[in-house]
Amino acid sequence: MKTLDDLLGEGVSGRRVLVRADLNVPFDKNDLGVISDDGRIRAVLPTLIALRDAGARVIVCSHLGRPKGAPDPKYTLGPVATRLGELLGNPVVFAEDTVGASAQAAAGALLDGQVLLLENLRFNAGETSKDDAVRGAFADELAALAEYYVDDAFGAVHRKHASVYDVAARLPHYAGGLVLKEVEVLRKVTESPEQPYVVVLGGSKVSDKLAVIQALLPKVDKLLVGGGMCFTFLKAQGHEVGKSLLEAEMISTCADLLSQADGRIVLPVDVVAATAFDASAEHEVVDISDIPADRLGLDIGPKSVALFAETIGSAKTVFWNGPMGVFELAPFAAGTRGVAEAITKIDGFSVVGGGDSAAAVRTLGIDESGFGHISTGGGASLEYLEGKSLPGVSALES
């Protein structure tokens, strides 16, 4: 695939370049105008700065949340435009629509080195439509705003959406540095990981991670399972899990996986069990064989952290996706913190697989420099590891 460096080598001064970014950032639950984690904005800065400094007229597009194909004030990218301008050191022009009059006027008025952000792509139903003609019509309008297309939104490349897949067929297209780096890293951990190779999976549901577990199990030395998903595995081992999250329909599947793994799947040996899903709820550390019937597990316990850390410490390659507990609530953050800190200390290469894992690193104040790579795309990372074709990457390669 052609790269941003190829485009810069061709010269972009005075040219309009459409950049698909992933600016799907989280907001403060108590103030929807305040961005709680600007990591995804920062991740695309190198591409935007390179284009700006080369004199390009930069048009940035992104989605935010899941609006229903129509404008919704809850999902406006207005605050993102403000923050992006602060990080770039220059105000960012903001269009009040995606491909309408505001976007067309703003794109036409751009000066060399200026940056424009379009309103949320998903305010237009054509962005996510499964109808090729509808999606293509929206892509035509997006492509008409620019002369070149750069995809630097790795977090969206697993979606066959207009701005990710169809626009690339309509304009000369290039991969941004972020997309290139992500693909390079994921190829490394799937095709040639240095052994021992340890994968750490957390999150809520086994069903969400089943395909990646099946794909990785033949390749890993150890697969550590925490988070809410661990309770279905524990139930498959015969343990009672109280009111903990449980996917009853997945119990037999977990039993089969444990049988196939021949000891390579490592589960918690203790958990933090609480009376309610609440930071102020009464809680205690219990062994997995002693989870009270009226409590639910919200984090792995200290013995489990030590067990996981010991296993991680011997690894040369670690891939981590999913928190070990409800890290957003202080009493249930120690498991995620302990595992994250253990990963930062390995003598090898580590990858944080985006999503909640990346958010946990920043929320808990873990030193990001301790990780080999922090992905910006949790879903895209998992689908790549499953062996699926990513539409956005395929479009860039064509």
Catalytic residues: 40, 205, 355, 379
Residue 189 half-sphere exposure, CB side, CA atoms within 13 Å? 33
* 40 annotated ligand-binding residue: yes
* 66 annotated ligand-binding residue: yes
* 227 annotated ligand-binding residue: no
Q: Kindly give the pairing relationship between strand 27-28 and strand 222-225.
A: unpaired
* 297 annotated ligand-binding residue: yes
Separation CA 195–CA 10 (nearest Å): 41
Q: Pull the structure tokens for residue 374.
A: 């922090």
Separation CA 305–CA 378 (nearest Å): 23
* 65 annotated ligand-binding residue: yes
Separation CA 128–CA 135 (nearest Å): 7
Query: Do the Cβ atoms of 199 and 175 come closer than 8 Å?
Result: no
* 356 annotated ligand-binding residue: yes
* 178 annotated ligand-binding residue: no
Buried b (16+ CB within 10 A) or exposed e, 254-267: bbebbeebeebbbb
End-to-end CA distance of the chain: 7
* Beta-carbon contacts of residue 333 (< 8 Å; ≥ 6 apart): 299, 325, 326, 327, 364
* 194 annotated ligand-binding residue: no
* 22 annotated ligand-binding residue: yes
* 63 annotated ligand-binding residue: yes
Q: Is 263 left (phi over 0), alpha (psi -120 to 50) or beta?
A: left
* 24 annotated ligand-binding residue: yes
- What totals of helices (H) and strands (E) does the chain contain, helices first? 14, 17
Residue 7 half-sphere exposure, CB side, CA atoms within 13 Å? 31
Per the annotation, where are the binding residues for ATP?
209, 297, 328, 354-357
Per the annotation, where are the binding residues for (2R)-3-phosphoglycerate?
40, 122, 159
Per the annotation, where are the binding residues for substrate?
22-24, 40, 63-66, 122, 159
Per the annotation, where are the binding residues?
22-24, 40, 63-66, 122, 159, 209, 297, 328, 354-357
